[in-house]
Amino acid sequence: MSSLIKFIQKAPWSAKIGIIILVINIAVAAFAPVISPYGETEITGDVWEEMSLTHPLGTDHLGRDLLSRLIYGARNTIALALMITFLSFSLGTLGGFLAATLGGWCDTLLSRTVDLVLSFPTLIFALMVLSVVGTSIFSLICVIAILDATRVFRLARAVAMDIAVMDFVEAGRLRGEKTGWIILREILPNALPPLVAEFGLRFCFVFLFIAGLSFLGLGIQPPTADWGSMVKENAGAITFGIFTPLWPAAAIAFITVGVNLIVDWFLNLASGLKE
């Protein structure tokens, strides 16, 4: 624990800001019912009320408290994005490592499939699949996780390929080690720094992707609070000079900037190790 604190103390100021942002968001998401002044779907005032003491950020298009919606939205959106990122990451890394260590037909098959998916714009792909299977949380998770896993696969495979040709991996093979040992003990520990950075990048991407789909009305469905759909629901307000939709949009930007700042730091660390 103390080494972690030391590690963070050494971070540049930009990364520290990122860490603070992330901690705030996670705290808000974790303690949503405690912090939030009203319930998630409780109607407490008029439509699009101005900021006031009772409604610090005003109300939304149905007269619900915007701050409460934002707080619950943090919980829903972050939880969903994390879940999808974990899923896509496990899928992609496993596939990438297998392709790199086994090579041959396994590599060819996986790489061709991934190339095919990547040759199609992601958002369009998701839209088309969702139009066929319909929008539900489950289909949302599956579609985004699989689409995103293709990118993780590319990176994991490239990183593992670089390591797999090193002499120490060859030495392990000549010793007669099984594929499991090669992946877990020889390749994974050395692939970790770039993969950690990639996890952050993927999280941002997934987060923005869910927000985008929700904004288009194809993501998380009402009345569940979610930042992307909140922007969409309140979009009309902006032409009246009411800036309600900017709040949830800014919340999205806030967390992704935070994560990106941390990612940048890790990328610098990873490239510094190489030199």
Partner 1 sequence: MKNILNITGLTIEGFNDNQWSTIVDKVDLTLERGEILGLIGESGAGKSTIGLASMGYSRKGCRISSGSIRFDGTELCQASDGVKQKIRGTRIAYVAQSAAASFNPSHRLIRQCTETPVRHGQMSSAQAEKEAIENYRRLLLPDPEGIGFRYPHQVSGGQLQRAMVAMAMACKPDIIVFDEPTTALDVTTQIEVLNAIKQITRHFGTAALYITHDLAVVSQLADRIMVLRNGQKVEENQTRELLDTPEKAYTRRLLSVRSQRPDKKPVKLKQKVILEVNQVSAAYKKKELVLDTIDLTIRRGQTVALVGESGSGKSTLARAITGLLPPLSGEVVFQGETLGASYRSRNRESLRRMQMIYQMPETALNPKQTIETAIGRPLSFYFGISGKERRKQVLEFLDRIELPASYINRYPGELSGGEKQRICVARALAAKPDLVICDEVTSALDNLVGEEILKLLQNLQNDLGVSYLFITHDLATVKAIADEVVVMLKGKIVEKGPIDKILNTPGHDYTKRLLNSVPKMDPDWLDDLLGKRKTTRSKRAA
Partner 2 sequence: MPTGLPNGGGLPDMKDMTATILKRIGHSVITLFVISILIFAGVEALPGDLAESILGQSALPETVEAFRKELKLDLPPHVRYISWLGDFVQGEMGRSLSNHRPITELIGWRLSNTLFLAAAAAVVAVPLAIILGILAALYRNTFFDRIVSMVSLSAISFPEFFIAYILIALISVKLPLFPSISTLDDQMSLADKLYTIVLPCLTLTMVVLAHMMRQTRAAIINVLATPYIEMARLKGVSRLRVVVLHAFPNALSPVINVVALNMAYLVAGVVIVEVVFVYPGLGQLLVDSVSKRDLPVVQASGLIFASVYIGLNLLADLLSIASNPRLRNPR
- The answer to whether residues 179 and 97 touch, using CB atoms and an 8 Å cutoff, is no
Residue 65, strand partner residues:
59
Q: Is 176 in the site for partner 2 (CB under 8 A)?
A: no
- Taking the complex as a whole, the smallest distance from the CB of residue 252 to partner 2 amounts, in Å, to 5
Site string for partner 2, 199-228 (x = CB under 8 A): -----x---x--xx--xxxx---------x
Closer residue to partner 2, CB minimum distance, 91 or 211: 211
Whole-number Å distance between alpha carbons of 78 and 104: 39
Question: Should residue 128 be labelled a site residue for partner 2 when binding is judged by CB under 8 A?
Answer: yes
List CB contacts of 72: < 8 A, sequence separation 6 or more. 32, 36, 40, 225
Residue 108 CA, distance from chain mean position: 28
Residue 240, burial from CB neighbour count under 10 angstroms (0-12, 13-18, 19+): exposed
183 binds, among partner 1, partner 2, none (CB under 5 to 8 A by kind): none
Binding partner of residue 132 among partner 1, partner 2, none, CB cut-off 5 to 8 Å per kind: partner 2
- Taking CB under 8 A as the criterion, the residue among 167, 239, 272, 274 binding partner 2 is 239
Write out the DSSP string of 218-246.
SSSPTTS--HHHHHHHTGGGGGGT--TTH
Q: Could you give the CA distance from residue 23 to residue 123 in angstroms, rounded to a whole number?
A: 29
Q: Does 127 bind partner 2 (CB under 8 A)?
A: yes
Site string for partner 2, 256-275 (x = CB under 8 A): xx-xxx--x-----------
Q: Which is nearer to partner 2, 68 or 122 (CB)?
A: 122
Residue type for position 24: I
Tell me which residues touch partner 2 (CB under 8 A): 14, 115-116, 119-124, 127-132, 204, 208, 211-212, 215-218, 228, 231, 235, 238-239, 241, 243, 245-246, 249-250, 252-253, 256-257, 259-261, 264
